[in-house]
Amino acid sequence: MLSSAKDVVISKGNTDAVISQLQREHVLSNSFLNKLIFQIAVKMTAKQGPLHAAEFAFPKQASIQQVLNILRHAKPVQHELTIPEGLTAYQIENLINQAPFLTGQIIVPTEGSVLPQTYAYEYGNSREKLLQRMQDSMQKTLDQIWKNRQPLAEIKTPKELLTLASIVEKETAVPRERSMIARVFINRLKTGMRLQSDPTVIYALTEGQGKLDRPLTRQDWTVESAYNTYWIDALPPSPICSPGKAALEAVAHPVDGNMLYFVANGTGGHSFSSSLTEHNHNVALRKEKK
């Protein structure tokens, strides 16, 4: 009998095989009499359903009746995998392939195709099917947000919304700033300005495979890449990460305003401005604080 609660993976097999496994795991006491009682109990309660193969949570000193109820009716143990906002496809692939208790391997998914959130799964589930659930969640969320969006001439397709949201996601960790930064970039697109977003440069330099292990330089801004928004005139061809729902909503419903610039203010947030003169003043204030 278990001296403490325990999760046990029950393999497919006949009643004797299940009993042997339960005894090895000390869910049932290791005696011939106990085995016989369990066999009789299985037959007498057969109308209640078959014994299932899965990972189950067994309580301390579970009775034979409790064990049978668990094997027939309990929900398998649920494991969780959290996909944080802002990860690249390479980082997500690594996270899923390292998650325990799953089967198979996945290849790097399409950038931006996974919705960041926590996903439940069971022992023996397929990594490929788990990834598909994540991608289905993103598609469903994106479709709904696109349907209810504020129409904007600068954002013509769901993919463009997703791409800009991925940039917003990487630009700030402050929730209230997302819709403001979205407005800045939309205003820049409207006026023909380049987005000039540092996270896009980092993505271009690392090819989305990790973090840049050094500060950005002005020379980096000149790298010839379709993802470098200091070099191209519009949005990148695809997302630079998987944005969360809040970033998607921010692009779909940006705040009103004529802001064109923002700079880190030294307190974890940003200072916003609508003119280059005001922006340069904010930059100078930021330098004074360093």
Enter the pTM of the model. Answer: 0.91
- Going from N- to C-terminal start, the domains of the chain cover 6-73, 79-139, 151-289
Query: What are the pLDDT digits (tens) for 65-79?
Result: 999 999 999 999 999
Gap between the Cα atoms of 133 and 66, Å rounded:
33
Residue 237's nearest CA partner among 225, 249, 247, 224 is 225
Report in angstroms the alpha-carbon separations of 49 from 16, 44, 70, 71, 72: 17, 11, 11, 9, 6
Report d(CA 271, CA 286) in Å as an integer: 9
pLDDT, position 290: 60
pLDDT above 70 (res 289)? no
Give per-residue pLDDT as tens, 204-261.
999 999 889 999 999 999 999 999 999 999 999 999 999 999 999 999 999 999 999 9
SS3 166: helix
Among 3.30.310, 3.30.1490, 3.40.1350, 3.40.210, name the CATH number for the domain at 6-73.
3.30.1490
